[in-house]
Chain A
Amino acid sequence: MKNPGLRVYAIGYLIFLYAPIILLPVFALNDSKVVSFPLTGFTFRWFQEMWADDSLREALTNSLIVAICASVIATALGLLAARASTRFTFPAKGGILGLIMLPLVLPEMIVAMSLLMVLLAVGVPLGKHTIIMGHVLICTPFAVAILSSAFQSLDKSLEEAAYDLGEGPISAFRLIILPLVTPGIVSSLLICFTISLDEFIIANFLGGNTKVLSAYIYGQFRFPAKVPAMLALGTILVLLSITLLSIAEYFRRRGIAKTGGKDTGGFL
């Protein structure tokens, strides 16, 4: 970076990206109802207030249920798709995989609207289960991408060696393949969980009267008095996301190292 202009640009870029996030904990710990400088004092009041809020706890519970269900289902589906795509050839394989990966680039708004239309037309009542459906749809491509890389780094002869030494397809999968892709599974679960927890549009469209955390936070911003408590909640969510993603990346890298493969990218 010999060009000073580029250096200024890079620093400005990073400030633009991360400064708002850094403001979150700053105002969450500030002893004032008004979100503005100068800071008036240090307090944990907003964290206590947040924790005492019953409707927040209900939204949190909803979010956790949705995120856990969506990440487990998406990872299970991703496991099947990744196995099929790396191990077998079948007609229209590229097209089918393309369709599975499509929600990755499709605007969530479109996904949410079309799902809502279908659900209402069929007469499915809205609730946690419909949010889970939507989240499975958008999480599965991530699961497939992560697990495909885990399967691809597996030597095909490992499975054949297990057959050769007397095991059947199921025990070979359980004894050899599963332990070697476990880091990928953990990583997929954590990333899908994080995506589902953060997601707003689908949760808002398909939730009906069920409020998840993201929708709840958005709603609370209408009341200025509630804002500092929401900033406190946001601070916790940022820390949680960073922690989960770091753990996910740790498992992904460990999986690659274990099978002796070469790291070819990832999320972090």
Chain B
Amino acid sequence: MSSEKPTMIEFKDVHKYYGDYHALRGITATIRAGEFFSLLGPSGCGKTTLLRTIAGFEGISSGVVLIDGKDMQNVPANVRPTNMVFQSYAIFPHMSVAENVGFGLRKDPRSKAEKAKAVEEALAMVGLKGYGGRAAHALSGGQRQRVALARALILKPKVLLLDEPLSALDKKMREHMQVELIRLQRQVGITFILVTHDQEEALVMSDRIAVMFEGEIAQLADPETLYRRPASRKVADFIGTMNFLPARVLSQSGDKVEVEAEGFGRLTLDAEQMTGAKTDAGPTIGFRPETLTILFDGQTASDRESPATVTEVVYYGDMTYYDIKLDGSDQPLRLSMRNVFGRPVLDIGTKTRVAWSPGALVLFR
């Protein structure tokens, strides 16, 4: 569906040096028109630098950045078709809310009344109808963010850049704003590019995510692919929780791979389950906690099952996290179960059976 969308931003082998420090190491990627795109990675991975090269606040050392087909070399920030919501929101403290939102319209030839109407509409869009007369420095964190959004969106940019916009909000407010941002993006249809270090936030909000480590894009994919088929152990580790077990590749023929893994025994996997580049760590199989299920009395596995022992229990209300050890393995594995009324939470030391499916595994070469 999203593959039909035209290209909005293109990076071609973009490098950025700060003195000797190599901040961006050959970024090549395409961001499509109208998509909610996230740059995800730990701090210092270059995601904010990459965002700022789109805005025009950072020059690049080599390579090309195209916005809507136009080379952005020598195009200053104030004429680029992008607008930004800053991490600190950068609300002008000496102005009213309406003056902040209308700031970008200064050179707009429309009449004063028309501009005032545009400001009122922009404020209504972010849920701040009637706040125009308030002093900017008297707003709460969430309100500041809405003002920053309205101020950027009123200019109808081709691309809206969001630099960790939710990191300053408390958890409840953050979750609420995530949903609002998605709604807003659908409403205006503008390309949103979000920088975040919060993998959950990226998964919830994005159409596609670029995971970055040390100035490089490690994987660029939609959230489901990223979660189910991470391109490397590093990506798998960063996105959610993944269990790893050392494995041995016995044979590979056509599109089938024969593997032996501790506790799981011999398995036949599809070649497309194999991922990543060869590493010194050797082959490893990985799987998410929710792909293992504890079998209670009378239940049978639809695919495969293995005996196991519970070694740790963490109760979360709606979920329980168990650490288990498969018989014949010393490696503790994390397993998550949705709690169902009437079903007991198991104690540490309980002998049990777990159901699993070879299709849910990933094999890192």
Query: What are the interface flags for B70-95 relative to A under an 8 Å C-beta threshold, 1 for contact and 0 otherwise?
Result: 00000011110011101110101110
Asked if A164 CB lies within 8 Å of chain B CBs, one says yes
Asked if B110 CB lies within 8 Å of chain A CBs, one says no
Contacts of A259 in B (CB 8 A): 93
Q: Are B78 and A163 in contact (CB under 8 A)?
A: yes
Pick the residue among A157, A163, A166, A168 that contacts B155 (CB under 8 A): A166
Question: Given A165-B104, A165-B151, A166-B107, A258 and B83 touching (CB < 8 A)?
Answer: no
Whole-angstrom CA separation of A258 from B92 in the bound complex: 10
Nearest-neighbour CB distance to chain A for B100, whole angstroms, equals 9
Query: What are the interface flags for A141-181 relative to B under an 8 Å C-beta threshold, 1 for contact and 0 otherwise?
Result: 00000000000000101101111111110000000100110
Q: Are A164 and B55 in contact (CB under 8 A)?
A: yes
Considering only CB atoms, which chain B residue lies closest to A158 in the complex? B90
Q: Are B90 and A155 in contact (CB under 8 A)?
A: yes
Q: Are A260 and B57 in contact (CB under 8 A)?
A: no
Q: Are B87 and A163 in contact (CB under 8 A)?
A: no
Question: Given A164-B83, A166-B106, A260-B137, A157 and B94 touching (CB < 8 A)?
Answer: no
Asked if B103 CB lies within 8 Å of chain A CBs, one says yes
Contacts of A179 in B (CB 8 A): 94
Q: Are B93 and A164 in contact (CB under 8 A)?
A: no
Q: Are A162 and B103 in contact (CB under 8 A)?
A: yes
Pick the residue among B78, B94, B107 that contacts A164 (CB under 8 A): B78
Query: What are the interface flags for B43-83 relative to A under an 8 Å C-beta threshold, 1 for contact and 0 otherwise?
Result: 00000000000011100000000000000000011110011
Question: Given A158-B90, A179-B94, A164 and B106 touching (CB < 8 A)?
Answer: no
Nearest-neighbour CB distance to chain A for B81, whole angstroms, equals 11
Contacts of A157 in B (CB 8 A): 86-88, 90
Q: Are A180 and B93 in contact (CB under 8 A)?
A: yes
Contacts of A165 in B (CB 8 A): 78, 83, 103-104, 151-152, 155
Contacts of B77 in A (CB 8 A): 160, 163-164
Interface size on B, residues (CB 8 A): 25
Whole-angstrom CA separation of A180 from B83 in the bound complex: 23
Question: Given A155-B90, A166-B155, A161 and B84 touching (CB < 8 A)?
Answer: yes
Whole-angstrom CA separation of A132 from B261 in the bound complex: 85
Contacts of B57 in A (CB 8 A): 160, 163
Question: Given A166-B78, A166-B104, A161 and B92 touching (CB < 8 A)?
Answer: yes
Contacts of B107 in A (CB 8 A): 166
Nearest-neighbour CB distance to chain A for B145, whole angstroms, equals 13
Contacts of B78 in A (CB 8 A): 163-168
Nearest-neighbour CB distance to chain B for A90, whole angstroms, equals 14
Contacts of A168 in B (CB 8 A): 78
Question: Given A158-B92, A258-B94, A167 and B106 touching (CB < 8 A)?
Answer: yes
Contacts of B82 in A (CB 8 A): 164
Q: Are B79 and A155 in contact (CB under 8 A)?
A: no
Contacts of B79 in A (CB 8 A): 166
Which residues of A in the span 9-25 have a Cβ within 8 Å of any Cβ on B?
none
Considering only CB atoms, which chain A residue lies closest to B135 in the complex? A258
Whole-angstrom CA separation of A258 from B137 in the bound complex: 7
Contacts of B83 in A (CB 8 A): 164-165
Contacts of A166 in B (CB 8 A): 78-79, 104, 106-107, 155
Whole-angstrom CA separation of A163 from B90 in the bound complex: 12
Pick the residue among A155, A167, A258 that contacts B88 (CB under 8 A): A155
Contacts of A163 in B (CB 8 A): 56-57, 76-78
Q: Are A161 and B90 in contact (CB under 8 A)?
A: yes
Whole-angstrom CA separation of A157 from B92 in the bound complex: 10
Considering only CB atoms, which chain A residue lies closest to B76 in the complex? A163
Whole-angstrom CA separation of A226 from B155 in the bound complex: 71
Contacts of B90 in A (CB 8 A): 155, 157-158, 160-161
- 20 more A-B residue pairs beyond the given contacts A157-B88, A160-B77, with a C-beta to C-beta distance below 8 A: A155-B88, A157-B86, A160-B86, A161-B84, A161-B86, A161-B90, A161-B92, A161-B151, A162-B92, A163-B78, A164-B55, A164-B82, A164-B83, A164-B84, A165-B155, A166-B79, A176-B92, A258-B94, A259-B93, A260-B93
Q: Spell out B's residues near A (CB within 8 Å).
A: 55-57, 76-79, 82-84, 86-88, 90, 92-94, 103-104, 106-107, 137, 151-152, 155
- In the complex, the 8 A-B pairs of residues with the closest C-beta atoms, listed nearest first: A165-B104, A157-B90, A161-B90, A157-B86, A163-B77, A163-B78, A164-B84, A179-B94
A-B contact pairs, 22 of them (CB 8 A): A155-B88, A155-B90, A157-B86, A157-B87, A158-B90, A161-B84, A161-B86, A161-B151, A162-B92, A163-B57, A163-B78, A164-B55, A164-B77, A164-B82, A164-B83, A165-B78, A165-B103, A165-B152, A165-B155, A166-B107, A258-B93, A258-B94
